Chain A
Amino acid sequence: AQSVAQPEDQVNVAEGNPLTVKCTYSVSGNPYLFWYVQYPNRGLQFLLKYITGDNLVKGSYGFEAEFNKSQTSFHLKKPSALVSDSALYFCAVRDILSGNTGKLIFGQGTTLQVKP
């Protein structure tokens, strides 16, 4: 079965420090991977995606993610965290077993807390 795991419920980091939010996946075939962020009382906002090509993907708000096929990981990173980055982050993979659908399988989410 296809799945996504976010092993950390919460990540705490000091402002200005680099941050990493971890994601691992299990899929059959090539993965299509996404990161979304949810700010309080808001919907999910798309950050970035990996479909094919360079393993390092750059996205919105200075975030990037590294696709690692051997480790089946797609960790989200930012070189210097901001307090405003504090939010709930979701990793997702497209369910390619479902055929002609863009159905996403999500991880359980990781709360990022950036302290001043």
Chain B
Amino acid sequence: EAGVTQFPSHSVIEKGQTVTLRCDPISGHDNLYWYRRVMGKEIKFLLHFVKESKQDESGMPNNRFLAERTGGTYSTLKVQPAELEDSGVYFCASSQEGWAGQNNEQFFGPGTRLTVL
């Protein structure tokens, strides 16, 4: 079974540019999460999809960040325009469907390392 995949693995952009990160969850997983780890600090939650619906986006830093999950499969996270403080590692995770899935372990992708210069 394929795990969670993320693309690209690394991205280096200049301040003011736009970057789009992609996450493909494990097939059949309704729950999809985005997290971010900035400068070696703790991993922080960004948002949670259940299928194509945003269940919780309380962790999104500001309106420069836009996440989508059209069709309830893969998800994209767009940062526009990027700022220096957006640099970090962006992780995607998925877990099994349904309410019970909320207590199931989340399977993480390898992350996308974003560097904003």
Residues of A within 8 A of B48 (CB): 101-103
Size of A's binding interface in residues, CB under 8 A: 28
If over half of B's interface residues share one DSSP class (helix, strand or loop), that class is named, otherwise mixed; here it is mixed
Residues of A within 8 A of B108 (CB): 36, 43-46
Chain A 75-98, CB within 8 Å of chain B: the 1/0 string? Answer: 000000000000000101011001
Chain A interface: which of B13-21, B66-74, B79-87, B98-106? Answer: B98-106
Structural contact, A101 and B42, CB atoms closer than 8 A: no
Structural contact, A101 and B107, CB atoms closer than 8 A: no
Structural contact, B91 and A108, CB atoms closer than 8 A: no
Structural contact, A43 and B43, CB atoms closer than 8 A: no
- In the complex where A43-B4, A95-B45, A108-B41 touch, is A103 in contact with B56 (Cβ < 8 A)? yes
- Chain A interfacial positions (CB closer than 8 Å to B): 4, 32, 34, 36, 41-46, 49, 51, 90, 92, 94-95, 98-109
